[in-house]
């Protein structure tokens, strides 16, 4: 999967990845996908919770040795 926009939040701790995601999503057109790259272990719970709260769709989570990639579609 590939996002329409990449948001690199590697090295950032909570709450910065969620704050940057919220700002980026406001600028994104409906139906487009953000590919969020992160290393904060808390993101694994924070991103799905944020998607549930905001009504956006978490399409996929890829966990690798060097972090996480989240694919989020703006609804």
Active site residue 51: no
From the list 12, 44, 17, the residue with the least C-alpha distance to 25 is 17
C-alpha span between 29 and 63 (Å, rounded): 26
Which member of 6, 8, 11, 14 is catalytic?
A: 14
- The count of other CB atoms within 10 Å of the CB of residue 74 is 20
**What positions carry a catalytic annotation?**
14
């Amino acid at each position: 999967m590939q996002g329409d926009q990449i948001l690199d939040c590697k090295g950032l701790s909570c709450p910065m990845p969620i704050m940057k995601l919220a700002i980026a999503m406001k600028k994104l057109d409906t139906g487009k996908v953000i590919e969020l790259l992160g290393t904060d272990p808390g993101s694994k719970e924070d991103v799905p919770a944020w998607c549930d709260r905001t009504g956006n769709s978490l399409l996929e989570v890829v966990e690798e040795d060097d972090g996480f990639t989240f694919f989020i579609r703006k609804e």
